[in-house]
Amino acid sequence: MDNLDELLKETEQLARHMSMYQHDIPPDLVTTDSQGNEELIQRYEELWAQVGQCQSQIMMMEPEVLPDSDVQLVLQMMKVKALTAEYEQWQETSPEIISNNQDILLAAGKEELQTVDRDLEMMLSTVRAENKKLKSNLEKEQRWLAEQEEVFEALKGKLEEVKKQNENISEKSAFQELKNKLKKLKNYKEELLTAFGEFLAEYFPVPDEHTRSFKKKKGVSEESHVEWVNLHVILETLINQLMNTPNDPYIIIKDEYWPPYIELLLRYGIALRHPADAQRIRLEAFHL
């Protein structure tokens, strides 16, 4: 099998060179010097005869019977052996000159040069196409980079403008802004106090109608006249005392403070008595 493959390759090479020799050598050399043709034809006939003998030997060989199990494995092993034998044969084979005729060698060299030239032209065309594609990609990336730089410069200018605007804001304008906010807070505080006063005036009025019954119950003479104050005044007094003097938030229970209102504040935890003086109370520190 190895000898047959070698013979077939050599025969194909000779046939190719013979056809090339007939076309590439000048007509005057072909007609006047026929020794090269005869030499190639003789060598071709010898190789063809060897090919025929090898084919006859192959036809006479009995086919090898493969085992039923692991057929694929056996085939793969045979392929490995064949490739190994071919590799060893190529390692031991030295290149042979197809002919000693200079004209044949010239034609063979010319064919090899033409083949190499075609391969180089294809490679050059491929490289040029790749360079063209890379150049197009480079131009796209450069345009994208230019757009990004423009955006960066625009944002940089905007940032500088904002910094200048912030620097132009004076302390006076900042103080005025804080003053306006404080004024709004004071107005809101007044609104809350007004609403709170109206609520207390509506639901906790001055207890004039209960004065007589309370005086009789406590044994107070009707001649002594006390002007009760409403709950709003009591709470305001407690709040002012707590905020103005937090170290001494207690106030003295006066006669004009209606006792049921004082009891109401103490019972619901709004006010607390002094631990040592029952006549003094203070507002619970809800803000702490």
Q: How far are the Cα atoms of 135, 253, 279 from residue 225, in angstroms, in the given order?
A: 108, 17, 21
- pLDDT confidence of residue 62: 67
Low-confidence ranges of the chain (pLDDT < 50): 1, 18, 20-33, 212, 219-223
Distance, in Å, from the CA atom of 232 to the CA atom of 238, rounded to the nearest integer, reads 10
Q: Model confidence over 194-220: pLDDT tens digits?
A: 888 888 888 888 776 555 455 555 544
Q: What is the DSSP string of 83-103?
A: HHHHHHHHHH-----S-S-HH
- Residue 202: CA atoms inside 13 Å, Cβ hemisphere, count? 6
- pLDDT confidence of residue 67: 64
In the numeric block, the tokens 């060897």 are attached to 50
How crowded is residue 274: how many other Cβ atoms within 10 Å of its Cβ? 14
- pLDDT confidence of residue 22: 46
- pLDDT confidence of residue 154: 93
- pLDDT confidence of residue 12: 57
- pLDDT confidence of residue 103: 78
pTM over 0.75: no
